A and B are shown apart, each in its own frame.
Chain A
Amino acid sequence: MRKMLKHDLRSVWRVWRIIAPILLVSALLCGFAIRVSNLIGFEDMDPLTLWATQLIPFFGAIASVAYMVSNPIIWFATQLMNTLPMVFFVITLVLILARYYKNFFTDEGYLTFTLPVSRTKLLNSKIIMTFFWLILTVVGCGIAYILFLVCSTDRETWSQIFQYYYGSGSSDLPATETNWQDFWFNVVYILGFLIGSVASVVSNILIMLTSITLGATIVKRAKFVLGVGIYVLSTYVMSIFAFAAMFVTVQLLSQSESNTDIFNLSGVATVWLSAMLFIGLGVGAYLLNKKLINKHLNLP
């Protein structure tokens, strides 16, 4: 299993080591571009520079061009930072899924499934690596956003933000009495929320991989496309159920007499039920995938 993990890690890393620095450098450049563009814009100019630009026509022309250029730069940099992390995430996801498909369901399967490694271990290594890369991608996107914010925001704005949050913010909160029932509700709610979040990510990965397996085992052509289609359809169906569950929760909450709002019993029950549902879906998808790979492998 360790060997399989190592090879999976290496193969995705080959692409990741190129696209991750591109994302980070782009975040830095976008951040700096916005900061510089803000500096050369008229609104932020100090009076002396403004006077100089008006006095000397040459500087005035430069300032006008800079002003015209700065706005599109800010727009472009912001759009780029909205798009790039998503592109980065999609590339990683497609890479992982394509590799899963290629290793298991194309001619490479003749090598993969004749290794002295059990199919359960092969499948588990893929699941672990998918989880690992998706988490790493989310972390990478987070770092890129932080870099972008740090580079695009000047010191004055930062001090204003800090002042807002730490200077007077906390004193505005009303003093509350300790309510132990609420406290335990909160604990159980947050625990359920955390378990549900992890379960939703893992079950999504399992459903994704199982969809690809389903596509690859039930037809002879366009296997990968069918797999992606099955995944899209299943997430669509699941989102309808999730919407229905949310609607029921809101109805229950609105009928509640308790003042503890979201931390009441129905809220906690919904969070835990969702967590259980995700765990159930994940286990179901995993068992189905295992059965398909063990019994119905459909190599070309």
Chain B
Amino acid sequence: MFVIECKGLKKRYGKEKLAIENLDIQLESGRIIGLLGPNGCGKSTFMKLLTGLLVPTAGDITICGYTRSEATNNFISYLPERTYIGGRKKISTMLDYFEEFYPDFDKAKAYDMLRSLNLDPDSHISSLSKGNREKVQLILVMARNAHIYLLDEPIAGVDPAAREFILRTIVSNLNPGATVLVSTHLIQDVEPVLDEYIFVNYGGKIIGRGTASELMEAEGKTVDAKFREVFRYA
């Protein structure tokens, strides 16, 4: 069964800007998929459409066999590009919040992850650095036993050491059978954990799809090298 299925998906901003044009895509379960493409090609828009933050102009979205609705948000754990946690709340308050709204939230797992990152659950979010806030947000997202993880630029704002930890966290805390869709520009960093890559061009057009090993066998290239070749500026 496909965990994500889109047919004729279209998203237009205003009258002129077409972010996604007639996208047909199916994603299988149990895979870590890299959604790779240049800035403004519609990667974030696609994720927002899956979570319901944006309403499609046309087309259908099916999540785990159900038509997209607020109920399908139960299947999706979404890490946006933006940091949505802040204010005078404690980290532990955010864990309680997630536990209350998401039945699949594993609080013990979240506390374990906080410990391994040396983050005090009683510290106020406002006192954390931007990087630490992003880590807390990632912990909140990865501590859920969701069917789908949508990670929009999960390693963009953190140092290389933290990147490694984050990628390890993603892989080691993954619910078996879950699908991870990672959108990033830092292809070299994520490449080792990817099962599959999808190259997306402007307008959300898919111009390449496969596995890293297939690519290496067929062309002797890494995903990063292939990306540079495909999206080379004239």
Residues of chain A touching chain B, judged by Cβ–Cβ distance below 8 Å, are 3, 7, 107-111, 113-119, 294-295, 297, 299-300
- Comparing B72-80, B157-165, B189-197, B201-209, the segment that makes contact with chain A is B72-80
Instruction: Give, as a whole number of angstroms, the nearest-CB distance from B197 to chain A.
Output: 25
- The answer, among A118, A297, A300, for a CB contact under 8 Å with B82, is A300
B101, A116: Cβ atoms closer than 8 Å: yes
Additional pairs, 7, CB under 8 Å, beyond known A3-B101, A107-B82: A3-B100, A113-B51, A114-B51, A116-B70, A116-B74, A117-B101, A297-B54
Interface residues of B in 72-101 (CB under 8 A from A): 73-74, 76, 78, 80, 82-86, 97, 100-101
B186 at the interface (CB under 8 A from A): no
Question: Interface 1/0s, chain B 48-69, versus A by CB < 8 A?
Answer: 0001111100000000000000
Chain A residues near B80 (CB-CB < 8 A): 107, 110
- The answer, among A7, A114, A300, for a CB contact under 8 Å with B52, is A114
Chain A residues near B102 (CB-CB < 8 A): 116
Cα separation A299 to B51 with both chains bound (whole Å): 13
B53, A110: Cβ atoms closer than 8 Å: yes
A116, B73: Cβ atoms closer than 8 Å: yes
Instruction: Give, as a whole number of angstroms, the nearest-CB distance from B156 to chain A.
Output: 15
A297, B53: Cβ atoms closer than 8 Å: yes
27 A/B residue pairs, CB under 8 Å, sorted by A:
A3-B100, A3-B101, A7-B97, A107-B82, A107-B86, A110-B53, A110-B78, A110-B82, A111-B85, A113-B51, A113-B53, A114-B52, A114-B53, A114-B73, A114-B76, A114-B78, A115-B70, A115-B101, A116-B71, A116-B74, A116-B102, A117-B70, A117-B101, A295-B55, A297-B53, A297-B55, A299-B53
Cα separation A180 to B176 with both chains bound (whole Å): 77
B82, A115: Cβ atoms closer than 8 Å: no
Instruction: Give, as a whole number of angstroms, the nearest-CB distance from B136 to chain A.
Output: 12
Cα separation A118 to B97 with both chains bound (whole Å): 17
Cα separation A119 to B69 with both chains bound (whole Å): 10
Across the two chains, which residue of chain A brings its CB closest to B73?
A: A116
A110, B84: Cβ atoms closer than 8 Å: yes
Across the two chains, which residue of chain A brings its CB closest to B80?
A: A110
B73, A115: Cβ atoms closer than 8 Å: yes
Cα separation A118 to B74 with both chains bound (whole Å): 12
Instruction: Give, as a whole number of angstroms, the nearest-CB distance from B53 to chain A.
Output: 6
On whether A294 and B100 interact (CB within 8 A), knowing A115-B73, A116-B73, the answer reads no
Across the two chains, which residue of chain B brings its CB closest to A6?
A: B100
Chain A residues near B83 (CB-CB < 8 A): 107
Instruction: Give, as a whole number of angstroms, the nearest-CB distance from A100 to chain B.
Output: 15
Cα separation A118 to B69 with both chains bound (whole Å): 8
Chain B residues near A299 (CB-CB < 8 A): 53
Instruction: Give, as a whole number of angstroms, the nearest-CB distance from B8 to chain A.
Output: 19
Cα separation A117 to B54 with both chains bound (whole Å): 15
Across the two chains, which residue of chain B brings its CB closest to A4?
A: B101
- The answer, among B53, B86, B101, for a CB contact under 8 Å with A108, is B86
Chain A residues near B101 (CB-CB < 8 A): 3, 115-117
Chain A residues near B55 (CB-CB < 8 A): 294-295, 297
Across the two chains, which residue of chain A brings its CB closest to B89?
A: A11
Instruction: Give, as a whole number of angstroms, the nearest-CB distance from A222 to chain B.
Output: 19
Chain A residues near B74 (CB-CB < 8 A): 116
Chain B residues near A113 (CB-CB < 8 A): 51-53
Cα separation A294 to B53 with both chains bound (whole Å): 9
Across the two chains, which residue of chain A brings its CB closest to B74?
A: A116
Instruction: Give, as a whole number of angstroms, the nearest-CB distance from B106 to chain A.
Output: 17
Instruction: Give, as a whole number of angstroms, the nearest-CB distance from A295 to chain B.
Output: 6
Instruction: Give, as a whole number of angstroms, the nearest-CB distance from A94 to chain B.
Output: 16
Across the two chains, which residue of chain B brings its CB closest to A112?
A: B84
Instruction: Give, as a whole number of angstroms, the nearest-CB distance from A118 to chain B.
Output: 5
Cα separation A110 to B74 with both chains bound (whole Å): 15
Across the two chains, which residue of chain A brings its CB closest to B82?
A: A107
Across the two chains, which residue of chain A brings its CB closest to B101?
A: A115
A119, B70: Cβ atoms closer than 8 Å: yes
Chain A residues near B85 (CB-CB < 8 A): 111
Instruction: Give, as a whole number of angstroms, the nearest-CB distance from B205 to chain A.
Output: 24
Cα separation A289 to B130 with both chains bound (whole Å): 33
Question: Interface 1/0s, chain B 8-52, versus A by CB < 8 A?
Answer: 000000000000000000000000000000000000000000011
Cα separation A108 to B101 with both chains bound (whole Å): 15
